[in-house]
Structure formats: C-alpha cells, structure tokens
Homo-oligomer: A and B are copies of this chain.
Amino acid sequence: MALRAALRGLLSCSSHGRLCASSISFSQRNNSSSAHLKVDHDQTTGVAVMHMQSPPVNSLSLDFLTEICITLEKLEMDKGCRGLIITSSQPKVFSAGLDILEMYGKSPERCGEFWKAVQEMWLKLYGSNMVTIAAINGSSPAGGCLMSITCDYRIMADNPRYSIGLNETMLGIVAPFWFKETMVNTVGHRNTEISLELGLLYKPAEALNIGLVDQLVPEDQVLSAATQTMTKWLAIPEHARQITKSMMRKSTIEKLRSNREADIQNFVNFITKESIQKSLRMYMEMLKQKKA
C-alpha cells in the first residue's frame, strides 16, 4: 500500500526542468508577483494569499525556492501583512516537494546551494511572525508536507485521491533532523517514527486522525475556510501570540540555525553518493514509465 501510495502521490520531478514564465497573472488586489507565485495581498484585512503556480506540480526547484524566500521576506517585513495563506494554483497538487532534478547529476556546490535554499524556506516559514495557514488543495508529499507543517494551521481538501506525508524514505533518501523535529512537534514521536521509517503518505482522513492536518473541508472550500480561520487567528492579541509561537518553536529553529553548514555538508555527502544517485535515477525512470 505504502509503495502504491508513494507512486500515486509523489511526482516531484518537473517534466521540463526549466522555469515556465508564462504563468504570471494579476488579480485585482495583487500587489506582488513573480514567475511562479501569485500573491494577493488584501491591505484591508492584512492577509496575503500566496498561490503557487509552478507547472506542473509546484516542484521546489532552486529557482522556485528562491522566489518563495524572497516573497516571504517581503511579506514578513511588510507591517501591513499579518497573515499568510499558502495554496496552489495547480490542479490536484499542493506541492510535490523538492525537485528531484536538483538532486540528480548536480555538482556538490549546486547541491549545497539547493539545500541552503530549502533550509532558508523552512527557517522563514517555521519562524514567521505572521499567522501562517496551509490551504492544502491537493497532494502534498515530502517537501510539500514540510511546507504545510511549518504553518500554524492546516486545512486540507477532503478528497481521498490526495495524500500528504514525509515519504522521502520511499525514494531512498532521508528526511533531515529538522524535517523530523517539525513532524514530531506536529504528530508526536511514534507517529513520526513509523511515518518516516515507512515513508508513509496519508489520505486526508488518516492525516486528520493523527493530527497531520487540522481540518478537512470540501475541495472547493479550502481557501474560504482558510480565510475564515485566519480571521479568528488575527483577532488574538498579536504580540502575545508571536512571543508564544516563538517560545514553542525556538529550540527546534535554533538547532538548525546553529548547524546549517554541517547540515548542508551532510546532505551533499549523502546525495552525491553513487548508490543514492542510482536510486534517484531508478525512481525517475519509474515515474516516466508511469506517465507513459
């Protein structure tokens, strides 16, 4: 079951491998936009909605991660932005996670640069002063799940064809300690242990059951439910909420912040191993055959 689920859910390898710039769009309230992100920032409510639109499956490439980090930085600095909703413009997928093409056949330097960007995204999201809500309107494996569990709250589409989980092990790679700790902080030690050892992907109902997501709603109500929840969170005294959030997360954040270089080296050494490269190649070939 786990294997089939992994194949169903994890399509993290973008099919072209280059950035597609045609997807920029502008909404009425949009005040920030980049190649693969559409940000609707409502100045009245102080809520920004970040739509990920990196076809086909919002794979987290180095370029896309860099865009996300720049956008997060801007919103974090903007005192008019107090809440952030993250969602997807791509059908059926929230984000397929880290782009395998960034880990296959790349130089150690490039791999290190990529990993630094993954760290940066996590640090920015997990430590954000904004209220952050993941509006998970599609499958969310691996890095997509990581993004989700850095948020303050997770609302997922109640569609049994979608799944969510840190399933890195199924690809033959290993979730680093800060992925693990974020998950432990969300669903506890035992759920994390069995989940990471087996590379499990959970159906929405299962994810709700173990606390990996907080709420399920019909697929067409994910964003509206996120907006409603955001309103409640923004009614909480802000300064006290921020200090409390920081108190809950700072030890986990500090552990990565004081070990970034070692963590990068660790990733690069692991991912550039011949055996791991071979695993990734086999995985990508399996995906190709599945598509064909």
Taking Cβ atoms with an 8 Å cutoff, the residues of A that contact B are: 1-3, 152-153, 168-175, 177, 180, 184-190, 192-194, 196-199, 211, 214, 232-233, 235-237, 239-241, 243-245, 247-249, 275, 279
Contacts and interface: CB of A to CB of B under 8 A. Distances in A.
Contact of A239 (B184, B185, B243, B275): B275
Contact of A180 (B170, B175, B233, B248): B248
A92 to B, nearest CB: 26
If over half of A's interface residues share one DSSP class (helix, strand or loop), that class is named, otherwise mixed; here it is: helix
A68 B171 CA distance: 34
Contact of A2 (B1, B171, B232): B232
A174 B2 CA distance: 40
Given A185-B189, A248-B192, A239 B197 contact: no
Nearest to A168: B240
Nearest to A2: B232
Contacts of A196: 244, 247-248
A197 B235 contact: no
A193 B233 CA distance: 13
B279 A174 contact: no
B180 A240 contact: no
B185 A193 contact: yes
A275 B3 CA distance: 55
